[in-house]
């Protein structure tokens, strides 16, 4: 990985009963890290020195957030294993198994237990997000099942899931102004929408359908829909057939990022999936950089 670059693996899951959700992002070169941003400014930009597991649990009794940044001495990489701190992701040939041991912020508690993600199919598809070619997105398992077994908090559920990855050679805020993304389960596979506003003024609008075998096809992006702003006044938008889409629930509301459950119609199916809006102009603001350490502490070693 190049100096100043990044790579992350993202997964989310929604419980079958609709009561729980989670997201996990494993970062090497944490793109939202104020410490990494400061290090780049001073000429020290080794991605491994800014690695983190970001884990968010959502539910009436289990809303928790963890994201501790760690140095390279706390990172282990192998062809099928990534360990950051006490948490480990490993691919066993059929499933992604994740053993978790994280400390939450700002209120200290622990998240311990295991996740198992079982892809219905794997996709080798790669999309270039920036015209420069320096930023790519890979929908690894657009359709999957997840099993959640946590000891702390005591939690057990299963449901629909999704796994992808992003990588880049330059800071994300230098390439993009904002984006709106969603993944939406279908009866046979899934659909992904990706609307990207690049820093150079150009745009990318992706509408992709993945069948049950992981094969991808493009479809015409449905009409754009303006969604309600978040509490932090972040713009949200998506797409839907007939020009209709609606926020079901806001899961995460921050000064520069929002994660929500979105109901829309794609490929002739009504579907509820995960939606995110990212505002990198907001992320660049000094006051936001000042606030980030309260949600993203950095381990001493």
Percent over 90 (pLDDT), the chain: 93
Is pLDDT above 90 for 154? yes
pLDDT per position as a tens digit, 236-291 = 999 999 999 999 999 999 999 999 999 999 999 999 999 999 999 999 999 999 99
Confidence of residue 127 (pLDDT cuts 50, 70, 90): very high
pLDDT of residue 31: 96
pLDDT per position as a tens digit, 2-49 = 888 999 999 999 999 999 999 999 999 999 999 999 999 888 789 999
Say how many C-beta atoms besides its own lie within 10 A of residue 159's C-beta: 21
Express the helix, strand and coil content of the chain in percent, nearest 5 each. Answer: 10, 55, 30
Is the full-model pTM beyond 0.95?
Answer: yes
Nearest Cα to 135, choosing from 172, 164, 163? 172
Q: How far apart are CA 147 and CA 15, in angstroms?
A: 9
Say how many C-beta atoms besides its own lie within 10 A of residue 240's C-beta: 21
Tokens of 48: 């491994």
pLDDT per position as a tens digit, 186-243 = 999 999 999 999 999 999 999 999 999 999 999 999 999 999 999 999 999 999 999 9
DSSP string for residues in 131-169? TTS-EEEEEEEEEEEEEEEEEETTEEEEEEEEEEEEEES
Confidence of residue 62 (pLDDT cuts 50, 70, 90): confident
């Amino acid at each position: 990985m190049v100096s100043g670059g990044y790579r992350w693996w993202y997964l989310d899951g929604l419980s079958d009963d609709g009561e729980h959700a989670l997201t996990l992002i494993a970062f090497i070169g944490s793109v939202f890290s104020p410490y990494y941003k400061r290090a780049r400014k001073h000429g020290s930009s080794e991605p491994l020195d800014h690695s983190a597991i970001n884990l968010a649990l959502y539910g009436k009794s289990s809303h928790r957030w963890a994201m501790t940044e760690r140095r390279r001495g706390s990172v282990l990489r192998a062809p099928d294993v990534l360990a950051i701190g006490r948490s480990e992701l490993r691919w066993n040939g059929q499933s992604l198994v994740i053993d978790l041991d994280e400390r939450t912020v700002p209120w200290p508690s622990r998240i311990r237990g295991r996740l198992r993600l079982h892809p219905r199919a794997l996709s080798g598809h790669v999309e270039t997000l920036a015209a420069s070619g320096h930023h790519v997105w890979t929908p690894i398992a657009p359709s999957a099942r997840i099993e959640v077994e946590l000891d702390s908090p005591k939690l057990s559920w299963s449901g629909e899931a999704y796994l992808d990855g992003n990588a880049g050679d330059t800071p994300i805020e230098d390439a993009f102004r904002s984006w709106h993304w969603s993944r939406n389960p279908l009866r046979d596979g899934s659909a992904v929408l990706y609307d990207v506003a690049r820093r150079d003024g150009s745009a990318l609008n992706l509408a992709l359908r993945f069948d049950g075998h992981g094969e991808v096809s493009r479809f015409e992006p449905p009409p754009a829909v303006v969604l309600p702003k978040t509490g932090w006044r972040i713009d949200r938008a998506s797409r839907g057939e007939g020009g209709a889409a609606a926020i079901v629930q806001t899961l995460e509301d921050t000064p520069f990022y929002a994660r929500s459950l979105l109901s829309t119609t794609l490929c002739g199916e009504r579907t509820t999936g995960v939606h995110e809006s990212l505002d990198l102009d907001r992320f660049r603001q000094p006051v936001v950089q000042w606030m980030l350490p309260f949600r993203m502490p950095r381990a001493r070693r």
